Chains A and B, each alone.
Chain A
Amino acid sequence: MNSVIAAVSHTTFKEVLQRMFPKVWPLKELSDQWWFVLAAIGTVAIVSYIYRENVMFRIAEHVLIGVAFGYSFTVMYFNVGQNNFVNPVFKEGDLWPIVPAVLGLMAVLRIVPKLSWVSRYPMAMLIGLSMGMALPRSLQSTVFAQVYGTTRIDFTGSISQGWPWGVLAVVGGAVLIVGTLSALMYFYFSMEHRGFVGGTAKVGIIFLMIGFGASFGYTVQARISLFAARVLFILRDWLGIIT
């Protein structure tokens, strides 16, 4: 819901509409206040869902979906279609962009039942390329580098930073090693969780719970921040109650 609240951003609306209708609708001449009012009404309409679902919320929700689609299409055309295809091919005479354009059209043929098989070729190419690029790099960054990071904790270097961050870094390093090993033990199912293995797994559960708690705390902080930003917008930018 926060995404809906914040997406009713006056800047985005204004710039997209200006770009789509530069001659028909000279929006640059309109005062910013109108956009503040529009954005504020959108925010209040979406937040009203907290009380109960109502017509204003539904209208704002549908407006958002429509605007998001129109906005995406516009950005897609100007940033990709125009800059990467129309201008190079028709203005500069560079014919190479025709190749990816044809592949793109082949992908779109998926919506034609009799020709949908054509879309498999560009999709196969895309998936193959992405897999080939992602696999070694993801392994490197999320597995090997992480294992290396867990084994090279600089205790002496950290302690030299002094109180509080240096000492906390040392404690954090020790916690990291114990936490990683015990949490891994919890997910090791080839041995019965009894004795030493069971005890270590229980320690792992504690670490997992602390991790979930930290994530929850950050989640609360994030949601409050998003809501506070909209309240700040209404109080300062729209109503002018605070400076």
Chain B
Amino acid sequence: MLAKLLQDSRTIYTVILIVIIIPFMVTLKLPIPVPPPVRSVFNAVEESHERKQPIIISFDFDPSVAGECAPMAKAMVRHAFATKTPVIGLTFLINGANLAQSILDQTAKEFNEREPGSIVYGKDYVWLGWKPQYDQVLVAMGHDIKRAFRTDSENRSLNDMPIFKGVTNFDDIGLSTSIAGSAIPEDWIAYTMQYKARLAVGTTAVSATQYFPYMQAGQIVGVIPGATGAAAYERLLVDNKYWPEYGDAGAMANTQSATHIVIILFIIIGNVVYFIRKSQRQ
């Protein structure tokens, strides 16, 4: 009976579910380290603020990976709003358009509730919406961002917005960031590396190993890898007093640690059982 239960994959799912739930219930605070790739992205936003240049955040993710990408997007937007660094938001993934817009709008609302009128649309941030054929759009943005998009997603002219004052192409942008669960950042790297704007990538943990070589080669300034990277970014916001509390990624940090320990135990137990059975057969 017990052996049959242990061989059922649903037992593993149940254990994982319990291990995910318990850390949410207890007030256990495990340390959240900040790796250099995440700190580099944070510093790049700070430097954009010092240079008085806007940053581009391309929300290239859809709801399927929102659990990982949305917290890092929200943390970056909070950082930019807290430092008064203008944010130009766009997406190249159609299913993520409203999700991304809601992140920008809700974060602006949070800041305006704390300090009315502190974040103004068109001055502190803009939402350009979705465009198809992103490779061609990136080439067009390299010439003139305002000509590539003409209007924001609500058909308001970009020429009338203060955020675009002095902005022509990527040379006038402090940092471009593509937050994605796909290979879209690779095209950002390919099509924008000849400009002055530095590039950062926020990505799902699955894709993280794909982008570290680009950082090592100096093509991007940093990588935010998955929910743990987002939690590290949230810690930087808290440590620098830009935001009083951790967000969703910080809330999931304990869960991540606990679940990883259980999975490591599963792997060890599985291997031990494998070798015991192998020796018994021999």
Distance between A210 CB and nearest chain B CB, rounded to angstroms: 11
Which chain A residues border B64 with CB–CB below 8 Å?
2-4, 6-7, 226
By a CB distance below 8 angstroms, the chain B residues around A156 are none
Q: Number of A interface residues, CB 8 Å?
A: 64
Interface of A is mostly: helix
A137 at the interface (CB under 8 A from B): yes
Residue of B nearest to A229 (CB): B67
Contact A221 B98 (CB under 8 A): no
Flag whether A54 is at the interface (Cβ < 8 A).
no
CB distance from A241 to the nearest CB of B (A): 8
Please indicate the chain A residues that have their CB under 8 angstroms from the CB of B21 in the complex: 231, 235
User: Is A218 in contact with B193, judged by CB distance below 8 angstroms?
Assistant: no
Interface size class of B (residues with CB under 8 A): 35 or more
Does any Cβ of A come within 8 Å of B184's Cβ?
Answer: no
Contact with A222, one of B62, B68, B189, B214 (Cβ below 8 angstroms): B68
State A150–B10 Cα separation when bound (angstroms).
45
The yes or no answer to B97 lying at the interface (CB within 8 A) is yes
What is the 8 Å Cβ interface bit string for chain B, positions 201-243, against chain A (1 contact, 0 not)? 0001110110001101111000001111000000000000000
**Given the complex of chains A and B, what is the CA–CA distance between A138 and B133 in angstroms?**
16
* CB under 8 Å from chain A, chain B span 61-100: 62-68, 94-95, 97-99
A140 and B192 CA atoms in complex are apart in Å by 11
User: How far is A133 from B213 in the complex, measured between Cα atoms in Å?
Assistant: 23
Q: Provided the pairs A82-B155, A146-B213 are in contact, do residues A75 and B193 lie with their beta carbons within 8 angstroms? A: no
Would you call B248 and A142 a contact (CB within 8 A)? no
Min CB–CB distance A121 → chain B (angstroms): 17
A83 pairs with B217, CB closer than 8 A: no
- The answer to whether B205 touches A75 (Cβ under 8 A) is no
Q: How far apart are B107's CB and chain A's nearest CB, in angstroms?
A: 13
Given contacts A148-B217, A218-B206, contact A133 B130 (CB under 8 A): no
Contact at B150–A84, with CB atoms within 8 Å? yes
Question: From B36, which residue of chain A is reached at the shortest CB distance?
Answer: A165
* Chain A residues within an 8 Å CB radius of B227: 221, 225, 228-229
Q: Is the interface of B mostly helix, strand, loop or mixed?
A: helix
The interface residues of chain A lying within 8 Å CB-to-CB of B63 are 3, 6-9, 12
Contact of A145 among B13, B36, B217 (CB under 8 A): B217
Tell me the nearest residue of chain B to A219, going by C-beta.
B206
A109 at the interface (CB under 8 A from B): no
Would you call B15 an interface residue if the criterion is a C-beta within 8 Å of the partner chain's C-beta atoms? Answer: no
- Tell me which of A6, A145, A218, A219 contacts B66 (CB under 8 A): A6
Residue of A nearest to B216 (CB): A149
Flag if A228 contacts B208 (CB, 8 Å): no
Q: B217 contacts A149, CB within 8 Å?
A: yes
- Is residue B109 within 8 Å, beta carbon to beta carbon, of the partner chain? no
**Which residues of chain A have a CB within 8 Å of any CB of chain B?**
2-4, 6-9, 11-12, 15-16, 50-51, 68, 71-72, 75-76, 78-80, 82-84, 87-88, 126, 129-130, 133-134, 137-138, 140-142, 145-146, 148-150, 165, 176, 211, 214-215, 218-222, 224-232, 235-236, 241-242
* Given A51-B10, A146-B217, A215-B209, 9 additional A-B pairs, CB 8 A: A71-B98, A130-B135, A137-B193, A140-B190, A140-B193, A149-B219, A228-B259, A230-B67, A231-B20
